[in-house]
Structure 1
Amino acid sequence: MKWNSLPRSLVAAITAALALSVAIPAADAGNRRDEQDAARRAMLDGQVMPFAMIKRRVDAAVDGASYVGSEFNPSSNRYRLKYVKDGKVVWVDADGRTGDIIGMAR
C-alpha cells in the first residue's frame, strides 16, 4: 500500500501519533531529571538522608521484593519506592529526613 493512496486524515493521525510517541518520553525524562536534581539539592542541603541509606532501610522491610524505581516529592521531602513481590506491586513511602517508613500499599 502506498502512502498517497491513504486518506489524508489517516496519514495525519499516524503522523501525530508518531510525534507524540517520541515527545512524551522526552518530556517524562525532563521531569525525572528535575526530580533527581531536587533530591540531590535537598540531600546536599542536609534536608534529607542520602537515598542509598533510605533504600537500604526499605529493602530490609520489604523482604525479598525486587526494587523497580522511586519518586521524590521535594515539597514534603518524601520518597515513594516501588517494588514487585510475588507478582504484585508494593509502594513504600519513606520520610527523607529520617528514613522512617511512613506508609506501605500493595
Structure 2
Amino acid sequence: MKMVPPFLLLATLSAPLVAQAPDQRRSDQERAYDARRRGEVLSPRAIEGRVLPTMKGYEYLGFDLDFGTAVYTLKFMRDGVVVWVDVDGRSGQIIGRTGK
C-alpha cells in the first residue's frame, strides 16, 4: 500500500473549505454596508459619529456588528484597559458599556 504525503492529504481534506472561502472573506464593513443599504441598520460611520465624541481620551480600535441583533460593538482602549460600547444599530443609541 502506497503512503500519501501529508501535504497532499491536507490539500485534499481542505478542498471543500477553499470552495467556501469567497463568501467567508466578506468583511464586517461590507456586510454592514449592505445592511445599511437595505435600511436594516445605520452605517458604521453614523454610529462612530455618535459614539466617538463621547469617548475622548480613548483609542478607537474598530467595531463588530451582530447581524442577528443589529447591535454594533465598538472597541476602545485607554491605559491598557479595553472598553466595549454596545450601540443599537437601528437607532444609534448606546445600550451598554463594559470596562472603565
**Shared fold, TM over 0.5:** yes
Cα separation, partners in 2 of 1:40 and 1:104, compared to 1, 3 Å: same
Gaps of 5+ in 1: 1-11, 13-26
- Distance, in Å, in 2 between the alignment partners of 1:34 and 1:85 is 26
1:81 aligns with 2:56: no
Code of the residue aligned with 2:74 in structure 1: it is L
- Distance, in Å, in 1 between the alignment partners of 2:65 and 2:72 is 5
Task: Indicate the structure with greater helix content.
Answer: 1
TM-score (norm 1): 0.65
**Structure 1 segments (4+ residues) deviating >6 Å:** none
1:90 aligns with 2:83: yes
- Distance, in Å, in 2 between the alignment partners of 1:102 and 1:32 is 29
Aligned pairs, number = 79
Task: Name the SS for the 2:36 alignment partner.
Answer: helix
The match for 2:53 is: 60
Q: Cα RMSD (Å) of the superposition? A: 2.0
Instruction: State the identity %.
Output: 39
Gaps of 5+ in 2: 1-5, 7-20
TM-score (norm 2): 0.68
Residues 41-60 of structure 1 aligned to structure 2 (within 5 Å): 41-60=34-53
